[in-house]
Chain A
């Protein structure tokens, strides 16, 4: 029973720790996706990504409304929402994860890290390890997160009909550029 004080201490620390946690947030993260196929390249951009990051324990949550993606061709945008993503049924793409190991929350150097977590697109959740580059500004006010990863349409049950004229890559390249601000208590 010598450890009982430690247990109490741990619960106390556990409950107080969040007050000391450093959170960063963004509501205008830029998410780009790019599909390269023989007939045409398709690109779409959203500037409405929303995210919160806790740098003390590396927890991250990221969300973007699929309707916020803009395409070069208006009809493509309609097809993206209607035929592929079914945005009315599945309005958001969501990622919830945890920065795995080696993250130094006091460093202002850019750090190459892996975020492990669940990526949910089109109502299908996949466990993913996503490479990111994180850099915290010297004054600690801002945090930049960049990432490039691929999403296979198949993995999320996004069906691309083979017989159609349109040409869409089976694997879509996703780029994330997010500038977070510190949340002051």
Chain B
């Protein structure tokens, strides 16, 4: 009997004590607001740029490829469903000057263009506070191919175009991120293929990532170009760029295996020049691979 009382005594004490440690812990809980990380796994989705930038003093090497039409007139078994053809090939480097500012250079097979890009993270989504991330993106492209006709590029400036975009992104859950990318392309009249087409074009992009496994995501983006500032009755059939893909992340590498109707990789080329459609076999396979290098000294963490 004594033992039972003693037990009751001990239990009543220890129960109260344990509770007090926990209730004191609750009062100590300083909630720190952390920036949401990895809204997207990569600075690029399928066709569009994401709000992500390079980490400070990290260099990314990019290799991108777009094959030929899978079906239709130019595809099928004659070209092994487009694998014989390379409509675009991109090699580039992006470097993070700070966590917020990235600069990059690249070269595309399409139009033999050299491009330079700047990305700046204006707002960061936070776990408690800021609901959105906003990144500004600018890219200039210089077409270096021989003119198709003697008067195609009268001046050197006729070869240069600029693309500006505001990327508004939100990570809704660990597996679901969405972005909206309004953009504006500024191009000289010499680069306009259809006489009726406007020089400068508004675009409105939408992109999303859905994680299916820890390191594998489904990615997709769609950009509205037709029906904004572009006239309706053009001689050339232009289509809105649309791509879907699988993104695989393996530490320092990110692989994206994509299907899209755009032949070109950089926005300056695919925003105005997407002449293939998903419905007539104009969709093509492509990939984008990045390898990250940490160039800076290791950060001091203490």
Q: How large is the interface on A (under 10, 10 to 19, 20 to 34, 35 or more residues)?
A: 35 or more
Q: How large is the interface on B (under 10, 10 to 19, 20 to 34, 35 or more residues)?
A: 35 or more
Which residue of chain A is the closest to B22 with respect to CB atoms?
A: A61
Expressed in whole angstroms, the minimum distance between the Cβ of B62 and any Cβ of chain A is 16
Expressed in whole angstroms, the minimum distance between the Cβ of A105 and any Cβ of chain B is 13
Within 8 A of B (CB), among A37-70: 43-45, 48, 50-54, 56-57, 59-61, 63, 65, 67-68, 70
Please pick, from A14, A27, A96, the residue contacting B13 in the complex, using a CB distance under 8 A. A14
Within 8 A of B (CB), among A1-37: 3, 6-7, 10-11, 13-15, 17-18, 21, 23, 25, 27
Q: Would B5 and A59 count as touching, CB distance under 8 A?
A: no
Any B CB within 8 A of the CB of A125: no
Mask of B263-302 contacts with A, CB within 8 angstroms, 1/0: 0000000000000000000000000000010100011111
Q: Would A50 and B30 count as touching, CB distance under 8 A?
A: yes
Given contacts A48-B32, A73-B299, A82-B37, contact A53 B21 (CB under 8 A): yes
Q: Which of B8, B12, B214, B301 gathers most chain A CB within 10 Å?
A: B301
Any A CB within 8 A of the CB of B55: yes
Any B CB within 8 A of the CB of A86: yes
Q: Would A18 and B252 count as touching, CB distance under 8 A?
A: no
CA distance A101 to B250 in the complex (A): 47
Expressed in whole angstroms, the minimum distance between the Cβ of B301 and any Cβ of chain A is 4
Given contacts A25-B24, A48-B32, A61-B21, contact A165 B252 (CB under 8 A): yes
Please pick, from B5, B20, B99, B253, the residue contacting A74 in the complex, using a CB distance under 8 A. B99
Contacts of A88 in B (CB 8 A): 173-174
Contacts of B16 in A (CB 8 A): 14-15, 17-18
Q: Would A74 and B56 count as touching, CB distance under 8 A?
A: yes
Q: Would B55 and A18 count as touching, CB distance under 8 A?
A: no
Expressed in whole angstroms, the minimum distance between the Cβ of B63 and any Cβ of chain A is 17
Within 8 A of B (CB), among A72-99: 72-75, 77-79, 81-83, 86, 88-89, 96
CA distance A146 to B21 in the complex (A): 19
Contacts of A78 in B (CB 8 A): 37-38, 55
Contacts of A161 in B (CB 8 A): 215, 250
Any A CB within 8 A of the CB of B198: no
Contacts of A86 in B (CB 8 A): 174, 214
Expressed in whole angstroms, the minimum distance between the Cβ of B173 and any Cβ of chain A is 8
Q: Would A23 and B20 count as touching, CB distance under 8 A?
A: yes
Grouping DSSP codes into helix (H, G, I), strand (E, B) and loop, the A interface class, with mixed when no group exceeds half, is mixed
Contacts of B127 in A (CB 8 A): 67
Mask of B147-183 contacts with A, CB within 8 angstroms, 1/0: 0000000000000000000000000011000000000
CA distance A78 to B34 in the complex (A): 12
Expressed in whole angstroms, the minimum distance between the Cβ of A145 and any Cβ of chain B is 14
CA distance A61 to B22 in the complex (A): 7
Any B CB within 8 A of the CB of A151: no
Expressed in whole angstroms, the minimum distance between the Cβ of B56 and any Cβ of chain A is 7
Any A CB within 8 A of the CB of B251: yes
Q: Would B301 and A59 count as touching, CB distance under 8 A?
A: no
Given contacts A14-B16, A166-B252, contact A44 B21 (CB under 8 A): no
Contacts of B253 in A (CB 8 A): 165
Contacts of B252 in A (CB 8 A): 75, 165-166
Q: Would B25 and A79 count as touching, CB distance under 8 A?
A: no
Some 16 contacts from A to B, beta carbons below 8 A apart, are A6-B5, A10-B8, A14-B12, A17-B17, A50-B29, A50-B30, A51-B25, A57-B13, A61-B21, A63-B25, A65-B32, A73-B55, A75-B55, A75-B58, A165-B250, A165-B251
Nearest 7 CB-CB pairs, A to B?
A10-B9, A14-B12, A72-B298, A74-B55, A166-B251, A67-B34, A70-B301
A residues neighboring B (CB under 8 Å)? 3, 6-7, 10-11, 13-15, 17-18, 21, 23, 25, 27, 43-45, 48, 50-54, 56-57, 59-61, 63, 65, 67-68, 70-75, 77-79, 81-83, 86, 88-89, 96, 159, 161, 163-166, 183
